[in-house]
Amino acid sequence: MDLSIIGSGYVGLVSGACFADVGHHVVCVDNNPQKIEALQAGHIPIYEPGLEEVIQRNVAAGRLRFTNSTEDGVDHSEVVFIAVPTPPQADGSVDLSYIERVARDIAAVLKPGQYRVVVDKSTVPVKTGDKVAETIKRYGQKGAEFDVVSNPEFLREGCAVSDLMKPDRIVVGSKSDRALALMQKLYQPFMAPILVTDINSAELIKHAANSFLALKISYINAVSAICEASGADVEKVADGIGMDKRIGRNFLNAGLGYGGSCFPKDIAAFIAISEQLGVPFTLLKEVQRINQSQRERFLKAMRDTLWILRDKKIAVWGLTFKGDTDDIRSSVSIDLIAELIKEGAHVTAYDPKGMDNVRNFKLIPEAKLVDSALEAAQGAEALVIATEWHEFAQVDLSHLKEAMASPMVFDGRNLLNPETMNHLGFHYRSIGRPGAGKG
C-alpha cells in the first residue's frame, strides 16, 4: 500500500521505517528542512537501536523516502498518518496546535474524488478525532472524500523497532467500513490482534494505558519506601506480587521514578481531560505525587549520608530518561543534577548516548561531561546511578573503588548487587533494598 506519515519524530520515523519494511511504500513528511535533508543524506536524527539499518534497507529498496511537501505525501498515499508532537501546556492540558495545522495542511491539498484515510497516531485527548474531521471539512475543497481514524501508538523508546514489528495489539478507532478495511490491509503483515473501536475509545485507550503503567511504577515506588522503613526488599516483593499473572512483573521496577516525553505529559493530560469532563481522576494526582517524592527521598538519603552537598565532588552515571535512548526530555537525572548543582555540588557526568543532546539544549551547563563512566567517577566523593544503562552494570567495581575519593554509591535504578557492593567495601544505597553498607 502507499502511505505517508506527517511528522518524522520518534513515532513517525520509526513507524514509517517499519511500514516500509513489511512491504508498503512510505513517504515520511516533515516541515523541518534540515531534518529532511539529513534523512535524505542518510543521517538518522535520533538514536534508536536497529533503526538505521531498517531505514537504509528500505531507502535502498525504493520503499521509503523523505520530503518537506505535505502535498507530495498526500498525493501518493491512500492512508495519511499524523504523527506530530502534542506538547504539554503550563496547566497540564495538551497543545493541539500542531495537529490542527496538519489537518489544515491536509485539507489544503486533498483533491475532490481522491479518497484518503487520515489516521491520527499522535497521543491526543479524547474527542480530538472529531475536531480533525471538522477541520478538514471546513478548510477542504467541496467533494473531498476522507475518513478520520484513531490509531494510537504503543512503542517504547529504546526498543521502538521491535515494539512496532511485534506489537501486543493494534487499536483502530473508526466507524467507517471503508477506512477499517484499508487499516486491516495495512496492518495485516504484522500478524497482531487488531482491536476495532470507535474513535473516542481508541483515543482514551492510549491515555488510560500510559496512566496505568505510570500507576504501576508509582505503586512499587510507594512500596519501596515502606520496604526501606521496614527492612524488606522491594525486588523480592515485586517478584512475589508479579508472579501473580493478574498483576505481572513488568513495570514493577522501583527507582527514581518515571520520566520521558510520554508518561509525565500523558498523566497530566489525562488529569486535565478528566477535570474538563467534570469527573476528576484524583488517583492520578497521587501517582504524580509519589513520582516526585521518590527523587526527593533519594536526595534526602544523599544529604543524610554526605551531610553538606556544597563543594562535594559528585559523579552521575546516566543523563537520558531511561537506558537505550538518547532522549533527555523530562529526564529525572537532569532534574537531580540541577538540584545537586543548586546545592553547590560539583557534578561530573557521563552518558553513553545522551551527552550531545544535553550540550545542544544547553542543559545543566555547570556539569562537566566526560567520556566514560570511570572517568566521571575519578576523585568523586559519591556516585549516583541515575539511568538503567546496561553498560553501567558492566563497570569493573574494583577499578571504580580505586577511582573514587570515597566509595559511596547511590544507585537510583537498583542496577548493582547490594551484597557484592557491601563485600567490596562500598557504602551502597539503592531503592527499597536493605543494607546501607559499611564503606
Positions annotated as catalytic residues are: 262
Q: Given candidates 7, 12, 255, 318, which one binds ligand UGA under the rule CB under 6 A? A: 255
Q: Given candidates 263, 281, 298, 317, which one binds ligand UGA under the rule CB under 6 A? A: 263
Q: Which of 7, 8, 18, 77 is nearest to 43 (CA)?
A: 8
Q: Which is nearer to ligand UGA, 44 or 108 (CB)?
A: 44
Q: Given candidates 81, 298, 321, 389, which one binds ligand UGA under the rule CB under 6 A? A: 321
Q: Which is nearer to ligand UGA, 109 or 358 (CB)?
A: 358
Report if residue 357 touches ligand UGA, rule: CB under 6 A: no
CB of 217 to ligand UGA, least distance (A): 5
CB of 50 to ligand UGA, least distance (A): 15
- Residues near 140 by beta carbon (within 8 Å), at least 6 away in sequence: 106, 107, 108, 110, 146
- The partner residues of 297 in beta bridges, in order of sequence, read none
φ/ψ of 283, rounded to 5, equals: -55, -35
Report if residue 157 touches ligand UGA, rule: CB under 6 A: yes
Question: Chain-centre distance of CA 142, in angstroms?
Answer: 40
Q: Which stretch binds ligand UGA (CB under 6 A): 61-69, 148-156, 336-344, 389-397?
A: 148-156
Q: Which residue has cell 546501607? A: 436
Contact letters for ligand UGA, residues 193-232 (x by CB under 6 A): -----------------x--x---x---------------
Q: Which of residues 83-142 bind ligand UGA (CB under 6 A)?
A: 123
CB of 266 to ligand UGA, least distance (A): 6
User: Does the CA dihedral 2-8-12-14 come out positive or negative?
Assistant: positive
| Cβ atoms of 288 and 231 closer than 8 Å | no
Can you give the C-alpha Rg of the chain in angstroms? 24
Q: Which is nearer to ligand UGA, 69 or 93 (CB)?
A: 93
Please provide the distance, in angstroms rounded to a whole number, between the alpha carbons at the two ends of the chain: 62
CB of 354 to ligand UGA, least distance (A): 13
- Cα–Cα distance measured from residue 306 to residue 79, given in angstroms and rounded to the nearest whole number: 58
In the structure grid, which three cell numbers stand for residue 123, read together?
A: 497521543
In the structure grid, which three cell numbers stand for residue 351, read together?
A: 552518558
Q: Given candidates 156, 249, 297, 427, which one binds ligand UGA under the rule CB under 6 A? A: 156
Q: Given candidates 154, 196, 201, 208, which one binds ligand UGA under the rule CB under 6 A? A: 154
- Residues near 370 by beta carbon (within 8 Å), at least 6 away in sequence: 348, 349, 350, 376
Where along the sequence are the contacts to ligand UGA (CB under 6 A)? Answer: 123, 153-157, 210, 213, 217, 251-253, 255, 258-260, 262-263, 266, 321-322
